[in-house]
Structure 1
């Protein structure tokens, strides 16, 4: 099936849900991204800052760029002029750097708090207690150029549906607790980014509002291709 066919499949899957598709474009050349754009994709997710910064000028201006990989503070400046949402926020230090760089460009950058929900030490993210401590801090409240709009998590790479559901339910629970405690009057805080090519159906059933899908749209990744 073509990229367009695959996108139509996911568009049909999401038609009667409140979930949107983030097309994960990492390692794929801009020609494939343009093909996806022409087929209706508008939310593109990249893991690496350098790759996103290289591709962004070659794509139409209405692409909504999401950084979904781990972000080092010294690289925020390269995407601050255009990134829509940084899904991998895991520290106050990173939030403060996003604030600094977004302010330089007089814009607001959206962000998701990344939580550690997987039974894998290689996956990163906050605990609920760490997120609450961050959100209660005076330092967080002094960030007018960053807007938190929800949460993100990466589930365990496992075929065990019971475990996946438990992890997705855990992330949704974090979202609901933070919403009630800190964002009750902020309708913009509404995103739960969870679910990828192998487990998106379970994630949608558990309340995902953003699924991150790459291989099921583009096929095998072309490692080494950055533009």
Structure 2
């Protein structure tokens, strides 16, 4: 039987000792399972389906910080804009425009990460390095006062090849540093590099991750 409390304790100690933030991936998990993690001190949870997130938000403690980590359709932004703590999966300028619109409607600023596609699999979402840089160079984001770009997110290839995983994370870390210098040099808020999940978070941290998204290492395999 999975001991969620012990898993949270171990992961939080590992992450905090390396100045890394832990996001517990709670998609498809029950409120009672999430509460076990909550009662162990965890406050940041990641979800990837807007409707499921809204339902959980209404049932669970108000001080939970909800991060959206899955592919987000533009027509779903309005359902989460009033409360979401961060959208980690921003993958197009059109999505940014919708987030700006909905955040303005709710008179709040939504922190966001640009999702970069670093894996080989075509099923993975995210922008290419080239597309992300083109959006930043275009300057439209500067006019989006209700959306704040706080960093980057990436998902590595699902593989047993540790070297490949390391190369992907290293490449994202290098891109993070490059665009920080070019576009966010004066903005301290651009500081988050979200990479690493249950199978590869230790490699990600070694390569510079500041935030990991962990599910099965907390709740057990699905």
* Normalised TM-score (structure 1): 0.95
Instruction: Name the counterpart of 2:24.
Output: 23
Q: Which has the higher contact order (CA 8 A, sep 6+)?
A: 1
Deviation digits for residues 9-40 of structure 1 (CA, Å, limit 9, x no counterpart): 10121232121110000000111111111101
Kindly indicate whether residue 131 of structure 2 is the aligned counterpart of residue 141 of structure 1: no
Aligned to 1:201: 202
Q: Are residue 165 (structure 1) and residue 166 (structure 2) matched?
A: yes
**Structure 1 ranges of 4+ moved more than 4 A:** none
More displaced stretch, 122-131 vs 37-46: 122-131
- Which position in structure 2 is the counterpart of 1:220? 221
Shift of 1:212: 0.5
Structure-1 residue corresponding to 2:81: 80
Shift of 1:94: 0.2
CA distance in 2, matches of 1:129, 1:158: 24
| Aligned 1:1-227 pairs, distance under 5 A | 1-221=2-222
Matched residues in 1 for 2:70 and 2:16: separation?
Answer: 27
Distance across 1 between alignment mates of 2:13 and 2:40: 13
Structure 2 gaps, min length 5: none
Distance in 2 between residues matched to 1:174 and 1:144, nearest whole Å: 24
Q: How many residues align?
A: 221
2-side partners of 1:138 and 1:164: how far apart? 32
Partners of 2:49 and 2:145 in 1: CA distance: 25
1:58-88 superposed Cα distances (whole Å, 9 cap, x missing partner): 1111111110000000000000000011000
